[in-house]
Amino acid sequence: MTEHNNVQTLNQFIIQRQSDHPGAKGELSRLLHHVGIASKIVNRAVNKAGLVDILGEHGDRNVQGEDQQKLDVFADTHFIDALKACGECCAVASEENEDIIIFDDELSKHGKYVFAMDPLDGSSNIDVNVSIGTIFSIYERISPRGEIAKIEDFLQDGTKQVAAGYIIYGSSTMLVYTTGKGVNGFTLDPSIGEFCLSHPNIKTPKTGSIYSINEGNYINFPSGVKKYIKYCQEFDKKSNRPYTSRYIGSLVADFHRNLLNGGIFIYPQTRKNPNGKLRLMYECNPIAFIAEQAGGKATDGNQRILTIQPTSLHERVPFYTGSTNMVKKTEEFLHFFNNI
């Protein structure tokens, strides 16, 4: 981007779209503004990762039992700091922390929202310079404003989300988000330090030619998933098969490509992870909200992701999302072959 005369920045767009929500007082707008600030700080660290001592393992494990990377901790810390500073958020749930982080200062206790996040998705790709991202989800609290937030504020089904989005740190840095009125994407212009509207009103194709799954786990997949993979690989001129297999190993990166080009992302249950591996609160709910708002679909194989009632903060579920026709076809295979 070299011409800025007609470019709409993220902050301008957020303020303009407040009218989509009658009675809005600017609280969500301020919260989203601070999300943008935190993402710029993390983006700067990602871009300098090979030049400063921020690559490699941190030396600890998170609540998931996964080795924390230094950038995981950096992203987690800076998003939490930005959210606390905005005063509109009363608590944060992060993949990197076992319990919710409660902001107990007087300003934050009156905050209207709670914030769930995977601060750095795809962190196993950090050291090899492959795209990574941040995923976030925003809910209105159900506990009274002015009191300390409770875990029940987070254990709401995905239909209760008021906003969700992700930031992808790749060849360019993009912030994609929805407030339930469509999906819009903003690319960070480093020359002015602003996210600028680059992908308005994103609509994902009804079908595509890409399937994204870690086929290295094939032997451990349910029968329906194995049969669907074989279906993807078969030649059929009418349905434009065989499809292309593309798997980066970062949910944000795989989903973002399929969102724009058409495709399906699959992370099923396996023998090792019978409930799936992706987290409902931090990954599946926000991505599902975006997928549906863009005209796509998201399911655990049996039901719509957004209708699943969470029972714990770090709950895991199988995940199938992307182009509607491809997700429906996958469900057909799951329902038929898994019941044999």
pLDDT digits (tens, 9 = 90+) for 21-37: 666 678 999 999 999 99
Segment 29-54 mean pLDDT: 80
pLDDT at residue 59 greater than cutoff 50: no
Do 133 and 166 form a contact (C-beta atoms < 8 A)?
yes
pLDDT band at 68 (very low <50, low <70, confident <90, very high): low
Q: Is 264 helix (H, G, I), strand (E, B) or coil?
A: strand
Q: Would you state the pLDDT for residue 339?
A: 60
Q: Would you state the pLDDT for residue 62?
A: 52
Q: Would you state the pLDDT for residue 33?
A: 93
pLDDT at residue 179 greater than cutoff 90: yes
* C-alpha–C-alpha distance, residues 32 and 265, integer Å: 27
Element (H, E) at 102: strand 101-102
In the chain the domains, ranked by start, together with CATH numbers, are 10-199 (3.30.540.10), 210-337 (3.40.190.80)
Q: In the numeric block, which tokens belong to residue 335?
A: 């329902």
Q: What is the pLDDT of residues 181-227, one digit of tens each?
A: 999 999 999 999 999 999 999 999 999 999 999 999 999 999 999 99
pLDDT at residue 249 greater than cutoff 50: yes
- 49 Ramachandran zone, left/alpha/beta (phi>0; psi -120 to 50): alpha
Residue 76 to residues 30, 41, 129, 296: CA-CA distances in angstroms? Answer: 19, 11, 19, 29
Q: In the numeric block, which tokens belong to residue 23?
A: 């009675």
Segment 312-324 mean pLDDT: 97
Binding site as annotated, residues: 95, 118, 120-124, 214, 247, 277, 283
Element (H, E) at 139: strand 132-140
| Cross-strand bridge partners of residue 267 | 319
pLDDT at residue 55 greater than cutoff 50: no
pLDDT at residue 123 greater than cutoff 80: no
Q: Would you state the pLDDT for residue 7?
A: 85
* C-alpha–C-alpha distance, residues 112 and 100, integer Å: 16
218 φ, ψ to 5°? -50, -45
Place of tokens 């019978």: 274
pLDDT band at 52 (very low <50, low <70, confident <90, very high): very low
Q: Would you state the pLDDT for residue 4?
A: 52
Q: Would you state the pLDDT for residue 82?
A: 93
Q: Would you state the pLDDT for residue 67?
A: 56
* C-alpha–C-alpha distance, residues 168 and 85, integer Å: 23
Binding site as annotated, residues for substrate: 121-124, 214, 247, 277
Segment 88-109 mean pLDDT: 94
* C-alpha–C-alpha distance, residues 285 and 153, integer Å: 15
| 295: CB partners within 8 A, 6+ apart | 203, 204, 206, 324
What one-letter code names the amino acid at 107? L
Residue 9 to residues 85, 136, 202, 231, 299: CA-CA distances in angstroms? Answer: 22, 20, 17, 43, 33
Q: Would you state the pLDDT for residue 72?
A: 84
Q: What percent of the chain stands above pLDDT 70?
A: 90
Place of tokens 């090979």: 50
Q: Would you state the pLDDT for residue 174?
A: 97
Rounded to two decimals, what is the model's pTM?
Answer: 0.92
Q: Would you state the pLDDT for residue 18?
A: 78
Which of 18-22, 93-97, 138-142 is predicted most confidently?
Answer: 138-142
Q: In the numeric block, which tokens belong to residue 62?
A: 């998170």
Segment 88-98 mean pLDDT: 94
CA 153, 98, 250 angle in degrees (round to 5)? 95
Q: Would you state the pLDDT for residue 56?
A: 44
Place of tokens 């680059």: 198
Q: What percent of the chain stands above pLDDT 90?
A: 78
